[in-house]
Amino acid sequence: MARPFVPPPLTPAKAEPSLRPELAFQNKFIALADFPKLPSPTQPKLPKLLCPPQPKLINLRRTKPPVQEASSSSVQTKATINPELTKTIPTKTNPKEESFEFIVSQAFPLMALNKEYESINLGTLIKPCYTDFNYVDTENPLKTRRFYEAILIDTDSIEIEHSRDANNYIQYSRFTFKKILDPFEWFVDHLHTPIALTMTDRPQTYNWYDYKAAWMNFLYLRPRHTWFVKYSLNITKATIPRWFYEWWNLFGGIEKILPQQLLNRFEEFQTKEGISTLPEHIKLCKFYIQKRISYIITWNFSKINVERIQHLYKQIQVKGWVPRQPNAKKLKEAMDNLDYYDEDQIMKMIEDAASTESSSEDNGDMCNPKGLALAYMEPNYE
């Protein structure tokens, strides 16, 4: 007769170490509430993840009707017929004398206002909508603009420079595109998996969806605050993920603010790249990034009437930019006397620097003051 099978005794599994072992003695339930050890964005990337495709984006910007079609056949939307959303294209003269103004590139509604609130000023209207000057539209008040900015820095997506006065007040800011992550190249095996944030904050973790939201929210430091846009060399050679065109549709540069000599080359660029039939904001995104065209972004609240109903809006405004010639002369002097000037002095002179396409591999490199100075001194506008 066969002997009955007796399973071996179970060995207790080793418990995952708590993220806060120093607190375990205070509360025996803390270990149950803690996450297991969280992945870091610096760890080796796991195999690419298969996830459902992103929803199709709708281009809200004004688009030019095809040449072969009559203008009467073009479809008009609220964004195209609302006079509040656009301004006249500024007259452009010699590039050395060009001046630019802020142009509203995009506006999106926050809420419809009842009749009794239409005459109330914007400051009073937005006060109950945002806490502690956090102008991010989110269901989680802990996810602040600072939280989103930290995510983009942790993932090495952008480099940020805040210019402060003697009282530590941020006067204006600059950010440099370094890389844009695709969901199929995310750091961990699932888009919802929490990743530890380097900076101590609440929340202390983020996932892919927080990363995407970070791009959409990190600019909202305060109304009318300005951001100067720059590009690293790597971003010009990288493939831009398609989801990022949604960001460019809201915050990207537009045709109206291009310096004249770059505007003259835009059509040639489309033909050369084979992108003439793409939506306008996608073509402009490729052009701005590949040519490393700097511009300035700001935003503000506004009230706009749509179909006789007044809405509270956020308006995104952009402004063109070209290097100033007097600064170029100073940089030329610095380049002729590199032994006399140190890197800090050069970086101070080019704090607003940006450049277009150049044959130099050091063109605009944030880590190479000499290369950035060369890029700023000799922009390839011709």
What is the tens place of the pLDDT at every residue in 310-321?
999 999 999 998
What residues are paired with 175 via a beta bridge?
A: 160, 229
What residues are paired with 205 via a beta bridge?
A: 196
Which residue, among 286, 350, 290, has the nearest Cα to 324 in the 3D structure? Answer: 350
Residue 39 predicted with pLDDT over 70: no
Residue 7 predicted with pLDDT over 50: yes
pLDDT band for position 323 (50/70/90)? Answer: confident
How confident is the model at residue 162, as a pLDDT?
Answer: 92
In what side-by-side order are the strands of the sheet with 227-231? Answer: 103-112, 309-320, 295-306, 227-231, 170-177, 158-164
Given a contact cutoff of 8 angstroms between Cβ atoms, the answer to whether 93 and 290 are in contact is no
Residue 185 predicted with pLDDT over 70: yes
Mean local confidence (pLDDT), 1-20: 52
203-207, 227-231, 236-240, 335-339: range with lowest mean pLDDT:
335-339
Mean local confidence (pLDDT), 108-131: 89
Mean local confidence (pLDDT), 5-24: 50
Residue 8 predicted with pLDDT over 60: no
d(CA 315, CA 133): 17
Greater model confidence, 276 or 379: 276
167, two tokens: 């009282």
Q: Which range among 7-16, 37-46, 55-64, 181-190 has the greatest average pLDDT? A: 181-190
Residue 91 predicted with pLDDT over 80: no
How confident is the model at residue 98, as a pLDDT?
Answer: 76
d(CA 268, CA 288): 14
Query: Cβ atoms within 10 A of the Cβ of 310, count?
Result: 16
DSSP state of 167: T
pLDDT band for position 2 (50/70/90)? Answer: low
Digit-coded pLDDT (tens) for 186-195: 989 899 999 9
How confident is the model at residue 86, as a pLDDT?
Answer: 39
pLDDT band for position 34 (50/70/90)? Answer: very low
15-19, 245-249, 335-339, 363-367: range with lowest mean pLDDT:
363-367
86-90, 225-229, 329-333, 356-360: range with lowest mean pLDDT:
356-360
Given a contact cutoff of 8 angstroms between Cβ atoms, the answer to whether 197 and 143 are in contact is no
In the chain, domain spans: 81-322, 324-382
pLDDT band for position 325 (50/70/90)? Answer: low
pTM of the full structure: 0.65
d(CA 172, CA 168): 12
Residue 64 predicted with pLDDT over 60: no
Digit-coded pLDDT (tens) for 327-355: 555 656 655 665 665 666 666 666 544 33
What residues are paired with 304 via a beta bridge?
A: 311
Which residue, among 174, 226, 90, 203, has the nearest Cα to 353 in the 3D structure? Answer: 174
Exposure on the CB side of residue 359, measured as CA atoms within 13 A: 0
d(CA 234, CA 262): 21
d(CA 7, CA 37): 32
Burial profile 245-284: b = 16 or more Cβ within 10 angstroms, e = fewer: bbbbbbbbbbbbbbbebbeebeeebbeeeeeeeebebbbb
**CA atoms 263, 232, 280, 61: torsion sign:** negative
How confident is the model at residue 322, as a pLDDT?
Answer: 82
How confident is the model at residue 9, as a pLDDT?
Answer: 57
Reduce the DSSP state of residue 107 to 3 states and report it. strand
Burial profile 211-230: b = 16 or more Cβ within 10 angstroms, e = fewer: bbbbbebbbbbebebbbbbb
Residue 105 predicted with pLDDT over 50: yes
Greater model confidence, 300 or 88: 300
Burial class (CB in 10 A: 0-12, 13-18, 19+), 138: middle
Residue 103 predicted with pLDDT over 60: yes
How confident is the model at residue 49, as a pLDDT?
Answer: 42
pLDDT averaged over the chain?
Answer: 74
How confident is the model at residue 343, as a pLDDT?
Answer: 62
